[in-house]
């Protein structure tokens, strides 16, 4: 396959819970289960990387009780799944300004990255306290601090200062729940990404639709700014 990296905007947990008359956190719990299914599917498809938009810089605006519950859920997931994912040869990357996360979560993320850094399988990236504008500003400030001459700054160098350094740009970005926007996610990296928007809520998004999205991608013609072969042929 030509596809290497799929990024997933996991939207609709709250709506899923509301439709079933459940607390919002139950939607998030069900969403976590779908993360494991998506990881398994990514491996099945032979992907090089999969990125989950787990917690954005804007998510801090949610009620504090929900934010705390999400952090507990994240910590529980990391504790329970770290060794299993390591045994699957997965390389874990936390992408974002993780310094603002609770200390116990920071410690778990660090342990997970350290544990898996020498693995050679799927890159599993989790965007945490991530916002693309913040990422770009962070990169610019670091370039200034490093006194990089303007003549040396190009796309490759700039990309090396992003949180996602070392991870290929996403070929396909999937967003669930019917919303059709990026929500400050991978703005630089998505320059030539294809998109798949679905009405399916994240807790209902499973293996079959993931595979369907990738198969649809495989049928598209990616031009990267050039003319279509249909137009020139």
The reply to whether 225 falls in a domain is no
Could you tell me the CATH number of the domain that includes residue 173?
Answer: 3.40.1180.10
The reply to whether 228 falls in a domain is no
Chain segment 86-104, per-residue pLDDT in tens: 999 999 999 999 999 999 9
Chain segment 152-190, per-residue pLDDT in tens: 999 999 999 999 999 999 999 999 999 999 999 999 999
- What is the enclosing helix (H) or strand (E) of 170? none
The reply to whether 233 falls in a domain is no
What percent of the chain is modeled with pLDDT above 90?
93
Q: What b/e string do you get for 32-60 counting C-beta neighbours within 10 Å, with b at 16 or more? A: bebbeebbebbbebebbbbbbbbbbbebe
What pLDDT, on the 0 to 100 scale, is given for residue 221?
A: 73
Active site includes 2? no
The reply to whether 232 falls in a domain is no
Domain range for 84: 5-220
Mean pLDDT of 31-60: 98
Mean pLDDT of 206-226: 87
Active site includes 204? no
The reply to whether 132 falls in a domain is yes
The reply to whether 230 falls in a domain is no
Catalytic residue among 11, 13, 129, 171: 11
Instruction: Count the domains in the chain.
Output: 1
pTM here is 0.93
Catalytic residue among 59, 104, 119, 184: 59
Closest among 64, 42, 61 to 51, alpha carbons compared = 42
The reply to whether 90 falls in a domain is yes
The reply to whether 229 falls in a domain is no
What pLDDT, on the 0 to 100 scale, is given for residue 29?
A: 97
């Amino acid at each position: 396959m030509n596809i290497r990296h799929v990024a997933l905007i996991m939207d609709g947990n709250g709506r899923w819970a509301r439709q079933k008359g459940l607390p919002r956190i139950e939607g998030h719990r069900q969403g976590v289960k779908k993360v494991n299914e998506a990881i398994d599917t990514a491996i099945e498809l032979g992907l090089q990387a999969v990125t989950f938009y787990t917690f954005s810089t804007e998510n801090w605006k949610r009620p504090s009780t929900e934010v705390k519950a999400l952090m507990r859920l994240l910590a529980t997931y990391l504790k329970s799944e770290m060794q299993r994912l390591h045994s699957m040869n997965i390389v874990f990357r936390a992408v974002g300004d993780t310094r603002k996360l609770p200390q116990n979560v920071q410690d778990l993320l660090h342990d997970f990255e350290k544990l898996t850094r020498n693995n050679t399988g799927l890159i599993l990236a989790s965007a945490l306290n991530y916002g693309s504008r913040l990422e770009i500003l962070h990169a610019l400030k670091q370039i200034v601090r490093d006194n990089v001459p303007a003549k040396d700054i190009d796309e490759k160098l700039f990309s090396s200062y992003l949180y996602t350094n070392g991870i290929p740009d996403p070929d396909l970005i999937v967003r669930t729940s019917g919303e059709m926007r990026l929500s400050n996610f991978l703005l630089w990296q998505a320059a030539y990404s294809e998109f798949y928007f679905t009405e399916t809520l994240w807790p209902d998004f499973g293996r079959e639709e993931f595979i369907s999205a990738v198969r649809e991608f495989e049928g598209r013609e990616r031009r990267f700014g050039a003319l279509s072969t249909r137009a020139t042929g």
